Every structure is written in C-alpha cells, then in structure tokens.
Amino acid sequence: MSDTKPKTRRQMVEHARELALQGSWSEAVELNKHLLERTPRDAEAQNRLGRALLELNDQAGALEAYTAALKIDPANIIARRNL
C-alpha cells in the first residue's frame, strides 16, 4: 500500500466504507480482502466484501463472503438478511 492510503485498521475500515458509498466496488473488494488477510475473523469485512461482490454481479463470491460472516458470527443479521 502506498503512503497515501490509510494504514491503521480503523482507517482502512473507514476507507472501505467510503469506497462503498462512492460505488467504487472493485476497490472496495480489494481493500476488504486486504483487511481480511490482516484480520481473518472480521465479520463486518466479510459483509462489506459480500456487498461489493454483489454490486459486481459476483453472486457466488457474495454467497461465500456472507457465509463466512455467519461462520464467524452466527447471529450476524446483515449476513443472514443478505443470504
């Protein structure tokens, strides 16, 4: 990641949210995947990844992301609703 990109996890999460709000879905996918490399048990990142993949018409990828979110957090309402 370059110096202009956020470095802390918190900054990365905020940037991922901004990318989604801007409709920058491909960038959102990459950033959420990077977050998941750092913290694999992040249900919120899985949810954001699922949403971005849905927006890119990758239903199989979205299903995988939402399923992973539920494995991490079985009570996750967002993942349940989107599945």
CATH of the domain at 41: 1.25.40.10
Residue 81: name the closest of 52, 57, 47 by CA. Answer: 47
* Residue 58 placed within a domain: yes
For the chain, count helices (H), then strands (E): 5, 0
pLDDT digits (tens, 9 = 90+) for 26-54: 999 999 999 999 999 999 999 999 999 99
The boundaries of the domain holding residue 27 are: 9-82
Would 4 be classed as within a structural domain?
Answer: no
> Is residue 2 assigned to a domain?
no
Distance, CA of 63 to CA of 27 (rounded, Å) = 19
Q: How many domains does the chain have?
A: 1
Q: Is residue 1 part of a domain?
A: no
Band of pLDDT at residue 11, cut at 50, 70 and 90? very high
pTM of the model: 0.90
**pLDDT the model gives residue 28:** 98
Report yes or no: 13 and 46 within 8 Å, Cβ to Cβ. Answer: no
User: Which one, of 73, 26, 70, 75, lies nearest residue 51 by Cα?
Assistant: 26
Q: Does any domain span residue 17?
A: yes
**Inside any domain, residue 33:** yes
The pLDDT value recorded for residue 4 is: 62
Domain membership of residue 27 (yes or no) is yes
Q: What pLDDT is recorded for position 20?
A: 96
